[in-house]
Amino acid sequence: MAKRVIALGFFDGVHLGHGALLRTTVQRARELQAEPAVLSFDSHPLNIIHPGVHVPLINTPADRELLVRRYYGIPTVLLLPFTRALMEMDWRDFIDHTLVDQGAVHVVAGENFHFGYHGEGTAEKLRAYTASHGIGCDIIPEVQMDGETVSSTRIRALLAKGDLDTANRYLGHPHCLSGTVRHGKALGRTIGIPTANLALPEDLQPLPYGVYACLCKLPDGAEPMAVVNIGVRPTVADGNYVSVEAWILDYRGDLYGQPITLDFYRMLRPERRFPSLEALQAEIRRNAEQTIAYFQTQRGIAP
């Protein structure tokens, strides 16, 4: 197995605090001529440790992998299933087996990192134990912004309010959602506003129902602007079914069954019921104008 420098953590959102770990991981890997890697878990540990507690996620596991690769250039993401056996593992065994078995020659963790049975493993124990076993270790302090610690908890609260401006500053990149385009009811096509439809994973921290200015990364690498609605479509009486519908501006093509990524930049308005399909159509077109104006002004992107 190749020798690896491994960043440790859950990395929900892959925010600027995580970025400090990931940049150090890449630097150490270069120095040691090793492979940079991330070791994380497929589900939030607190959901297993405290049954009945549900911590919503900023990103799906697949999107965490995407973000680590996209923004930090780390190709290897090791997603372990967080099982009861892993939860009850002695912290020394976690190092001796889980990390060593993955080829770790150096590890990078945050100063508040806890692991092993009852969280008895700490960053300082990790540093001391790895040093005694010939494994390097960097412990990274918390990252502060606006006088607050950059944390996944803080970002979840911002996303719940629809404050993408602040959430994206803490993330260091736009909040994103990826998925495979699936068939919807084709109503948008009948009113001249065809949409690409994605499922909204149940475990995610939902954005408020509403309309958003986004960029959409297509399979061919193009990133056109998109007007995205998240919600229950009250004007067409879809009930409680939550949909994610992206009207990709100036795009003509068939995306069914293909993967796309939506990058969320700005909430334009809350979802609401309109008196007619014509009124809805007019508002969506106004939202498209708002989206184009936003990206021209804020991002310098021409339509």
Decide if 281 contacts 194 (C-beta within 8 A).
no
pTM beyond 0.75:
yes
Which among 157, 121, 166 is positioned nearest to 9, based on CA atoms?
121
| Joined tokens for residue 15 | 């925010």
Q: How high is the pLDDT of residue 154?
A: 95
Domain with 189, as residue range(s), is 174-299
192 shares its domain with 123: no
221 shares its domain with 262: yes
**Band (190; pLDDT cuts 50, 70, 90):** low
Give the pLDDT confidence of 44-99 residue by residue, as tens digits: 777 666 677 678 899 999 999 999 999 999 999 999 887 777 778 899 999 998 89
Give the pLDDT confidence of 235-244 residue by residue, as tens digits: 676 567 788 9
Number of domains in the chain: 2
Q: How high is the pLDDT of residue 208?
A: 95
Judged against a pLDDT cut of 80, whether residue 1 lies above it is answered with no
Question: What is the C-alpha to C-alpha distance for residues 79 and 86, in angstroms, rounded to an integer?
Answer: 13
Q: How high is the pLDDT of residue 286?
A: 96
The answer to whether residue 79 sits within a structural domain is yes
The answer to whether residue 136 sits within a structural domain is yes
Q: What is the CATH number of the domain that holds 115?
A: 3.40.50.620
Give the pLDDT confidence of 113-164 residue by residue, as tens digits: 988 888 899 999 999 999 999 999 999 999 999 899 999 999 999 999 999 9
Q: What is the CATH number of the domain that holds 279?
A: 2.40.30.30
The answer to whether residue 163 sits within a structural domain is no
129 shares its domain with 22: yes
User: What percent of the chain is predicted at pLDDT more than 90?
Assistant: 68
Q: How high is the pLDDT of residue 45?
A: 72
State mean pLDDT over 277-299.
Answer: 91
15 shares its domain with 111: yes
The answer to whether residue 166 sits within a structural domain is no
243 shares its domain with 188: yes
> Over the chain, what is the mean pLDDT?
90
Contacts for 92 with CB less than 8 Å, ≥ 6 apart: 116, 121, 129
